[in-house]
Amino acid sequence: MSQEKEFTLPGNARTADDSLGQATVNSGRRRLLGALGAGAAIAAVQGAAFAAVRKPKSIGRVVIIGAGFGGATAAKYLRKWSNGSIDVTLIERNKQFISCPTSNEVLGGNRAYESLVHGYDKLGKNWGVKLVNASATAVDAEKRRVRTDTAGEFEYDRLIVAPGFDFNFASIEGYDEKARERILHAWKAGAQTLALRQQLVDLPDGGVYALTIPKAPYRCPPGPYERASQIAWYFKQNKPKSKVLVLDANDKIISKEKLFLGVWEKDYAGIIEYTPKWNATGVDAASNTVISELGDRLHADVLNLLPAQRAGDIARAIGIVNVNDRWADIDWITLESTALKNVHVVGDALSAAPLMPKSGHMANQHGKAVAAAIVEIFSGREPQPTLLANTCYSLVDDKRAIHVDSVHRYDPEKKQPLVVAGSGGVSSAPSVEEGLYTRAWAETIWKDVLA
């Protein structure tokens, strides 16, 4: 196992310390304790929660690129399950965490945008994670170093890559930078969420909103159908002559089909028009017209395009994207890349197992699985496969929600997690009760990831 090593790169220690009042103090004390020897430090920490003054000797260093649902969860649980004996540096380019889950509610006018925005400070304060606000730009796998744009370099024993997805904008011809200023995706929550909401608010009654959906896999399978429902709910209250056109490249609604169709027929008849097998491959930004693979053209007042997706660009730069030139293949016990040793992948960027969605909930589960595996490895034990569970709630109006859930267990023959036969399923019907659980879920998972 790796012994405690001081960070040798000057940029690193300084930046990490600069960005973290609390951790600065801690890391100084850790060095001191490290010098006392393992026995003393570990004995001091046994059974104790994270008393800031009691730092065990480091058993390894982990650097994490990306502090979304996967990366931030991994950071917290590495610290928690190692009793603080793993050094964790979390590199994130955004200053705040902005939740994609429940952001569709903002579009429907059913949630304040501010409630999606969360700080990272508790990961430092409560767990001793070193937060670095910078963009990872390259990885030297040989020397085990991550380079960043503004914060220097970081050495690791194990690297976790959690960049989420990036769009392949070229999948929709004409969707260039200029077009993207006005024709939004809003598929990464943030400024675009607010901008799209504004476009909907500005839309006159009778105006048309159109949403295109790429072929699966993409982030959040039920997300587009939830978005259509939220916007239809908003139109129904405020702009009853307006329409929501859903142009889906898939053969049918790919998640909770019967439940969404039921709600649309009952509550949004005459508002939502759904067209399957409509693959958007071009856009004429000047006339706000989207063009299908077959040459159909459709004009809308508000166009909302979701291009094809693939692992975040940094994953490509590192060289771990080895499935269809889109996703990163992993070993399902350790979540280690099959392309690069000591590099692990979590969240949307990895090549998912069968029936495993790209969701925030699942990314959180990946984060815990990789934390468990690395704690075991650094402790000199054999990592064991752990269970993964998913739930995707969708809010279909201002109060009611539906869900889909599944439990995934590692199959030693197939060497990947498979849905446990008989487990999981979908809601029997939309309900207010599940609407309340959905909001509770959001509050709770944000804390599980960040606090």
Partner 1 sequence: MKQVLPLLALLAAGTAVAAGPAGSDGKAPAKPALSAASAAAVPYAVANCFNCHGTDGKTSAAIPPLAGRDRVYIEETLKAYKSGAKPATIMHQLAKGYTDEELAVFADYFSQQK
Does the protein bind partner 1 through residue 423 (CB under 8 A)?
A: yes
Q: Can residue 394 be called a binding residue for ligand HEC (CB under 6 A)?
A: no
Give the interface segment with partner 1, choosing from 88-96, 169-177, 311-319, 385-393 (CB under 8 A): 385-393
389 binds partner 1 (CB under 8 A): yes
Q: Which of 441, 442, 446, 450 binds ligand HEC (CB under 6 A)?
A: 441
Q: Is 391 in the site for ligand HEC (CB under 6 A)?
A: yes
Pick 337 or 391: Cβ nearer ligand HEC: 391
The reply to whether 267 sits near partner 1 by the rule CB under 8 A is: no
The listed partner (ligand HEC, partner 1, none) that binds 81, CB under 5 to 8 Å by sort, is partner 1
116-175 binders of partner 1 (CB under 8 A)? none
Q: Which of 131, 314, 321, 445 binds partner 1 (CB under 8 A)?
A: 445
Query: What span, in angstroms and rounded, lies between the C-alpha atoms of 260 and 274?
Result: 11
- Cβ proximity to ligand HEC, 50 vs 437, nearer residue: 437
The whole-angstrom separation of Cα 62 and Cα 105 is 36
Q: Which does 112 bind (CB under 5 to 8 A by kind): partner 1, ligand HEC, none?
A: none
What type of residue sits at position 164? G
How many residues bind partner 1 (CB under 8 A)? The answer is 51
Q: 132 or 392, CB closer to ligand HEC?
A: 392
Select from 5-13, 158-166, 295-303, 428-436 the region that touches partner 1 (CB under 8 A).
Answer: 428-436
The residue from 391, 394, 395, 397 that contacts partner 1 (CB under 8 A) is 391
Least distance CB 195 / ligand HEC (angstroms):
31
Handedness of CA 127, 129, 130, 133 (dihedral sign): negative
Binding status of residue 9 toward ligand HEC by CB under 6 A: no
Q: Does 443 bind partner 1 (CB under 8 A)?
A: yes
Stretch that binds partner 1, among 84-92, 242-250, 321-329, 371-379 (CB under 8 A): 371-379
**Is residue 375 close enough to count as binding partner 1 by CB under 8 A?**
yes
Shortest Å distance, C-beta 61 to partner 1: 20
Q: What's the min distance (Å) between Cβ of 360 and partner 1?
A: 9
User: CB of 144 within 8 A of CB of 135?
Assistant: no
- The type of residue at 20 is L
| Contacts to partner 1 from residues 287-306, by CB under 8 A | none
Buried/exposed 311-348: b ≥16 CB within 10 Å, e otherwise: bbebbbebebbbbeebbbbbbbbbbbbebbeebbbbbb
With CA atoms as reference, report the closest residue to 216 among 279, 275, 291. Answer: 279
321-360: contacts with partner 1 (CB under 8 A): 333
Task: Tell me how far apart the alpha carbons of residues 423 and 441 are, in angstroms, rounded to a whole number.
Answer: 20
Q: How far apart are CA 346 and CA 311, in angstroms?
A: 10
Sign of torsion, CA 141 142 148 152? positive
Region near partner 1 per CB under 8 A, out of 56-64, 317-325, 335-343, 386-394: 386-394
- Interaction mask 371-390, ligand HEC, x per CB under 6 A: ------------------x-
Q: Is 47 in the site for partner 1 (CB under 8 A)?
A: no
Q: Which does 121 bind (CB under 5 to 8 A by kind): ligand HEC, partner 1, none?
A: none
Number of residues that bind ligand HEC (CB under 6 A): 4
**Contacts with ligand HEC, residue ranges (CB under 6 A):** 389, 391, 437, 441
